[in-house]
Structure 1
Amino acid sequence: MDLLHKAVTLVMCTLTSFGSFAANERTVTDEKGMFTITGTPQRVVALEYSFVDALASVGVSPVGVADDKDVNRILKSIRNQVEPWTSVGMRPQPSLEVISQLKPDLIIADVQRHSPAYDDLSKIAPTLILKSRGENYQENLDAAMKIGVVLNKEQEMKSRIEEHKLMMAEYKTKFASSDTMQFAVATEKGMWLHGPESYAGSVLTSLGIKSPIPNETERAYLEISLEQLLKTNPDWLLIAPYSEATIADTWKKSPLFNLLNAQNQQHVVNVSPQVWSLNRGMHAAEQIAQDLSELLSK
């Protein structure tokens, strides 16, 4: 009977262990199909800024980040919530060697930037590949939720997203203006309008802000000339400068620039590239809303 009892006990323990293992198995749909993971990842490498935002939102510190070798490109509000990380280099081409040395148990990659390296990344650790570059506001929230599930922090992420939505809804009640608002990125060589399908553009739409190009839904980013900007003619023009001197500085010297509604109303304003363009995520969206609150209350 002792042998039988031991055998039964062993079988029951095995079944219990298997049941716990299966219960802890989680599956999400990423850009490659079905991604399944068990356990709780402890060493996460994030290859886009938006993924760091999601990790910080549920109290997870990445061991490695593709931070373009400059930690200050990540929002301070995010850096304050996580431990220091090891840089794995540039987002377009992170160092596989450094990533491997960190011994991650999860890599979060961007489908647009990192698909060519997906197989190599997957040999290092399970690789969750999501849309980041070119995503809109809702797509970012969807990606954050998937990250929460994979991290075994589904409820924490749900709570954070609900908190975020309440905060954004509160901001929205303050924005009753009928003015149109356009966000743009400017370099020395050109200016790109971020349309309603861009991240910043879709955040503005969610806050009830009117776009001067509401029907431009095919492309997220539109490179424009000064003449095309005049046709758009927003009441507000928010510019994120990607260099010390930009084409906007050149355009401002032209008499044509003075024909802009935004210029006539002194509504041409520089904003942070880190907040408005580089760091897509809940922290960034909340800071965008805060910036708008300050601008529209003046």
Structure 2
Amino acid sequence: MLRSILAALLLVPTTLFADTISHAMGETDVPDDPQRVVVLTNEGTEAVLAIGVTPVGASQSWLGDPWYPHITDAMGDAMNVGKESAINLELVAALEPDLILANKQRHEDIYPQLSAIAPTVVSERLRGDWRRNFELYASALGRDEEGTAALSAFEDNVAALAEKLGDITDEKVSVIRFLPTQIRIYQLDSFSGFILGAVGFDRPDIQNVDEFAIRTGKESIPDMDGDRIFHFTWDTGDGEGVAARDDAMSDPLWQSLSAVKAGRVHEVSDPIWNTAGGIIAANLMLEDIARIYGLE
């Protein structure tokens, strides 16, 4: 009898589960106070860092070696497990995580493998308002209080900046991204669009739409105008993005834009204004806006 009891006890999992989390791929029992967290999106990495968790593994920053400069110091010894769209499952498994944070838009196809490695919580989408994902990640980590505090601090920063800007937010601000093969005109359901909207900025009519972006080329330069233009460039180091930007900005159509003639064109960081996509970048974007408008 004693032997059978001991054998049964050996079969009982030692992990203590704190809660059942509903997410984009179903429900998952998550561990109490997970210590080995792997995060598979850039915005997810910013979320866990902001609530005091250093992941043991994370997806590589879209630009950086392997992390964006603004999070490098905070990442410590975290292992790069591949880009969001090309996760190395063997590396994830080797880290022996007790929780994985993923995204349906990126990882739906590999969810069965991820959930076989460790409890996996999956956010729904990647677009403008990152707060829903942030709250999901905080709950999965059992850090709702820290998550609430971080969001409250962000909202306080937004309110303080909006108050300082006052009527300046009546400007119709245009957001443009230069890539090697296209130009994007960003709309409301983008990272920068969400932040600008939260602060209260107006947008040109073509951008004042609850969509992500218009993918176009130099022929649409007249549609890129506004009272002020913010632009950023996707360039992986080969110079192609920068060359495309310079080509567009030397075009007579660009030179004819009212914002260009008025000297109200500002180059900003692609990671901060777009690709990082999380709460740390959001606060840094607010700092950029304050600097550009002389409110530091």
TM-score scaled by structure 1?
Answer: 0.84
Distance 1:200 1:32 in 2: 27
Residue aligned with 2:20, SS: strand
Partner of 2:244: 247
Distance 1:68 1:132 in 2: 18
Distance 1:273 1:84 in 2: 25
Residue aligned with 2:29, SS: strand
Q: Percent identity?
A: 22
Contact 2:66 2:80 in 1 (8 A): no
Partner of 2:104: 111
Distance apart, 1:190 and its partner CA: 1.3
Residue aligned with 2:84, SS: coil
Contact 1:50 1:132 in 2 (8 A): no
Distance 2:202 2:163 in 1: 14
| Cα separation, partners in 2 of 1:107 and 1:71, compared to 1, 3 Å | farther
Distance apart, 1:119 and its partner CA: 0.6
Contact 2:58 2:78 in 1 (8 A): yes
Unaligned runs of 5+ in 2: 1-15
| Cα separation, partners in 2 of 1:83 and 1:31, compared to 1, 3 Å | same
- Return the index of the structure with the highest Cα Rg: 1
Partner of 2:13: none
Contact 2:222 2:257 in 1 (8 A): yes
Unaligned runs of 5+ in 1: 1-20
Superposed, 1:143-222 pairs within 5 Å as 143-175=133-165, 176-177=167-168, 178-212=170-204, 213-217=206-210, 219-222=211-214
Partner of 2:270: 273
Letter aligned with residue 161 of structure 1: L
Contact 1:48 1:132 in 2 (8 A): no
Contact 2:63 2:271 in 1 (8 A): no
Partner of 1:293: 290
Contact 1:66 1:88 in 2 (8 A): yes
Distance apart, 1:227 and its partner CA: 3.7
Q: How many residues align?
A: 272
Contact 2:226 2:259 in 1 (8 A): yes
TM-score scaled by structure 2?
Answer: 0.85
Superposed CA RMSD in Å reads: 2.0
Superposed, 1:8-47 pairs within 5 Å as 25-47=18-40
Partner of 2:281: 284
Distance apart, 1:276 and its partner CA: 0.8
Letter aligned with residue 250 of structure 1: D
Superposed, 1:27-176 pairs within 5 Å as 27-67=20-60, 72=65, 74-133=67-126, 135-137=127-129, 140-175=130-165, 176=167
Partner of 1:6: none
